[in-house]
Amino acid sequence: MPSNSLKDEFGNDFAATAFQIVDNEPRIIGRFGSISRFDDGSYDCWFHSPDLSPLSGHKLAAIERKASQKHHFVRLTGEAYAVGEGREFVLDMSRLIGVRKRRSISAAERERLKAQVAKARDCKRHAA
């Protein structure tokens, strides 16, 4: 099984469920497509439905309108793709294909959890 170098590189940006091995190749999977890396280091972004069936022309047109002008799309019947390089390309495309972002705990929640753990430790010390 290949190592998931995409997860090593983008693990802090996307949810763990976004990283999958498909056809023995690591990919970042979203609601409307997937991103994989070529051997030369460039990235390939395919727009398709989750079950690999074609997207509607309307959905592809909406994705294309949302996309930045610096990325060139090639539209096919029911799907589209874009090829690019760099972290910025992957982050831009991930927004378009609907990749889940990694969740983070807010500072207030983190402080509440720390207080709860400290309280539990104090109760344990006094009980002993």
Residue 2 has pLDDT above 70, yes or no: no
Question: What backbone phi and psi angles, to 5 degrees, belong to 77?
Answer: -75, 105
30-59 per-position pLDDT tens digit: 999 999 998 888 999 999 887 888 888 898
Kindly state the average pLDDT of the residues 67-80. Answer: 81
Under CATH, to which class is 5-102 assigned?
Answer: alpha beta
Q: Is the pTM of this model over 0.85?
A: no
